[in-house]
Amino acid sequence: MVQKITRKKISVYLTLPVIADVAVNLFVFHPTVNPFVFLLFLLFNSIIAVYLFNDFSQKESLVNSRIENTKEQINIISAENSKAEEFGAALRFRITRYNNLKKVIEELNKSLRLDLIVKVLSSTVYTLISNSCGTTLFYLLDSRTQKLSLIYSIKENPQMVIFSKEGDIFDYWVLRHSRELLIEDLKNDFRFDLDTLRSQEMRPVLSLISSPLISHHSLLGLLRLDSDKRGSFNQDDLRFLSLVSGLGAVALENSLLFQKTQDLAIHDDLTGLYTKQYFIGRLKDEAKRCLRLDQRIAVMMIDIDFFKQYNDKFGHTAGDIVLKKVSSLLKESLNPLSPLLCRFGGEEFLIMLPETGKERALEVAEELRRNIESEKVMLRRQNTSVTVSIGLACLPLDTKDDDELVQKADKSMYQAKRKGRNRVCYI
């Protein structure tokens, strides 16, 4: 079409000069030509020229219009292609995310260890949602106190300090409502008072997503991602986080139940102290370590004096009260020394004090004996007192064998009983 119009345009430009030249020749060189015929000739040729010019203009406009329409269609198709490419990229990204859920489930099924489960969940959302940017926080909830405790975090900036070890207003919002939280721009979120936020010592947070870890209607904790940039998270991110949290909550509950079962297996039901079997195993490992590093261990064998009389006079329930009271005093008095406490059997207790020499162990044992003696125990509305006999032995000063170490502490304890009870003896 363009080529045809161009040809006509050229023909018009070529024809007009020819017509003009013919007219001049007729008029100048043939003066006998009738002027009227000459005018008709000019008029006729002028009409043809005007017609051709108008026809050309109309077709040129039509072609330009079609060109514009074609350009618009090209732009529309380009925009649609761009949207399709963006949608395809987003879809591929989502597919990649959800394909990784299989790996997450496999990792969660490998172990019941709490630390491993927490690490898998945190690293998964940090990589797949945050693209390894911002901060990921993992909180556990204490069912008794209803307080959160930060047990794991991943930070883009290793130098950043997280002050909210027990959670902040965002975490307790999730805890109170038991549902997910999405903040795209904190400055435009009416749910939280910016003045209150500014008054608190908080690291910069402008956007975040958080999901509770709920299993069988029980809230176990929460998993949170935040950023100091606006618009870092969207609804799709929140849905994926919620899905990961749902899987994690089941694994977390199984881990906590397993941990609780393990704790019950190595702790005495009545006193909450470690069992004899667990204590002996730990003592063997600690003895090897201390001999290798040239360190010291002190072991105390403790027996409640005249314990049978409490049972005979006040009943077996009273004996349990005395055992619990003495156990509590052992924990309170020795807590700064990081001891390993064990109910050895009946009314006997065995204690290991790491990195403690004999002189320091004697001071600790004597102070412990006085604390127990000064404490009053209410049995059937009667104030009674309890005394203990303590035997002491140290490694490697007294022996380098862990079994012999316990035997020497036991002999020292019986020596304290023979000397009148309520005293500390050592070999």
Domain of 164: which CATH number? Answer: 3.30.450.40
Query: Which of 78, 100, 125 marks a domain boundary?
Result: 78
Residue 248 placed within a domain? yes
CATH number at 288 reads 3.30.70.270
Domain shared by 148 and 53, yes or no: no
The pTM of this model reads: 0.61
145 near 230, Cβ under 8 Å? Answer: no
Domain shared by 226 and 297, yes or no: no
Residue 103 placed within a domain? no
171 near 148, Cβ under 8 Å? Answer: yes
Domain shared by 14 and 126, yes or no: no
Domain shared by 359 and 407, yes or no: yes
Domain shared by 381 and 312, yes or no: yes
pLDDT computed for residue 219 by the predictor: 92
Q: How far apart are CA 414 and CA 427, in angstroms?
A: 11
Domain shared by 256 and 322, yes or no: no
Q: What is the pLDDT of residues 6-38, one digit of tens each?
A: 555 555 555 555 555 555 555 555 555 566 665
Q: Which two tokens stand for residue 7?
A: 């040809």
Matching residue, tokens 């290793």 = 158
Q: Is 168 exposed, middle or buried (CB count within 10 Å of its CB: 0-12, 13-18, 19+)?
A: buried
Query: Which of 62, 78, 94 marks a domain boundary?
Result: 78
Domain shared by 242 and 381, yes or no: no
Domain shared by 143 and 195, yes or no: yes
pLDDT computed for residue 279 by the predictor: 95
- Whole domain around residue 282: which residue ranges? 276-426
Matching residue, tokens 């730990």 = 282
Residue 86 placed within a domain? no
Q: How many folded domains does the chain comprise? A: 3
Domain shared by 284 and 347, yes or no: yes
Average pLDDT, the chain: 85
Query: Which of 246, 266, 286 marks a domain boundary?
Result: 266
Domain shared by 254 and 286, yes or no: no
Residue 355: CB partners within 8 Å, gap ≥ 6? 290, 295, 296, 297
Longest dimension (CA), the chain: 167
User: Beta strands 297-304 and 207-215: pairing type?
Assistant: unpaired
Residue 88 placed within a domain? no
Q: What is the pLDDT of residues 239-292, one digit of tens each?
A: 989 989 998 999 999 998 888 888 888 999 899 999 999 999 999 999 999 999
pLDDT band at 2 (very low <50, low <70, confident <90, very high): very low
Q: How far apart are CA 323 and CA 314, in angstroms?
A: 14
Q: What is the pLDDT of residues 184-240, one digit of tens each?
A: 999 888 888 777 676 665 678 899 999 999 988 889 999 999 999 999 999 989 998
Residue 419 has pLDDT above 60, yes or no: yes
Residue 327 has pLDDT above 90, yes or no: yes
Residue 271 placed within a domain? no
Is 171 in a helix, a strand, or coil? helix
Residue 102 placed within a domain? no
